[in-house]
Amino acid sequence: MILNELHFMSGTLGMNTTVLVLIPQDLSMAHFGSDGRRFRVLWLLHGLSDDETIWLRRTSIERYAERYGICVVMPRVDRSFYCNLDNGEAYYDYVSRELPGLVTALLPISDRREDNFVAGLSMGGYASLKLVLRTPEKFISSAAFSSVTDWPGRSIDLVPNVLGPHYVCPPEDDLYALADGFEKLAVKRGNSKGEPLSKPKIFMGCGTEDVLLSESRNFRDKLTGLGFDVTYRESAGGHSWEFWDEYIQYALNFFFG
């Protein structure tokens, strides 16, 4: 695998930032696209207390990804909850639009919906669900581990500490509202023949000792009640890298196995 560390000025964020990208050296693992060989890609998102390096430091993601011949893109989003902030730092727009446009222009990464997958833990698990529900034309499937899912509920004590005491979760950042509105969005974002986008397939996992377990179970039930294809798994473990290192392997098999 080739590890790329890209430092660049983000117009969306209004500041310099960094993204790490793993790319297979074996081009035979790539697909043919209209403009040459392109790899399938996993967008791998960090949690609240981490940065773009954490998946490389705490798991064997490079070795796991090599088995499947995929790219892995690991952006830095600080403590933004992958949201567009009042100070003008538009982290959601950055992750969903600017960054994919940049890396697919510079590197042999596919921009097709069926080749783009997203996964994350905790804050990043929330974002991985938000991306497939809010931008389904770009991402085909999601894996979310130990995820923050219920801002009006249990997580309300956490969010003001991150986004400010006057923050009110808008519908575009509310996973429950996005799930309820998905059918309408799927029609709006569908193809020229009027066919709606298919529902994304979703993998969710949480440790039985994790403080966010009830949130994961509740949102799983919400999705399955709306007809989403959800694979859910839980096992002994807490909010820890031992758990996430195990579950990223389940997710990769779910996506690419």
What is the per-residue DSSP string for 174-217?
-HHHHHHTHHHHHHHTS-TTSPPPPPPEEEEEEETT-TTHHHHH
pLDDT in tens, 214-257: 999 999 999 999 999 999 999 999 999 999 999 999 999 999 99
- Return d(Cα 109, Cα 105) in angstroms, integer: 8
CATH number for position 28: 3.40.50.1820
Strands 41-45 and 2-10 come out as: unpaired
Q: What percent of the chain has a predicted confidence (pLDDT) above 70?
A: 93
- The pLDDT score that the predictor gives to residue 62 is 98
Residue 125's domain comprises 2-256
- The pLDDT score that the predictor gives to residue 153 is 60
Residue the block writes with tokens 């060989």: 37
Q: What is the pTM of this model?
A: 0.95
- The pLDDT score that the predictor gives to residue 156 is 57
- How many domains is the chain built from? 1
pLDDT in tens, 76-105: 999 999 999 888 889 999 999 999 999 999
Q: How confident is the model at residue 69 (pLDDT cuts 50, 70, 90)?
A: very high
Of 30-39, 63-72, 167-176, the poorest mean pLDDT is in: 30-39
What is the per-residue DSSP string for 88-147?
S-BHHHIIIIIHHHHHHHHSSB---GGGEEEEEETHHHHHHHHHHHH-TTT--EEEEES-
- Return d(Cα 99, Cα 20) in angstroms, integer: 11
State which amino acid sits at residue 210.
Answer: D
- The pLDDT score that the predictor gives to residue 37 is 83
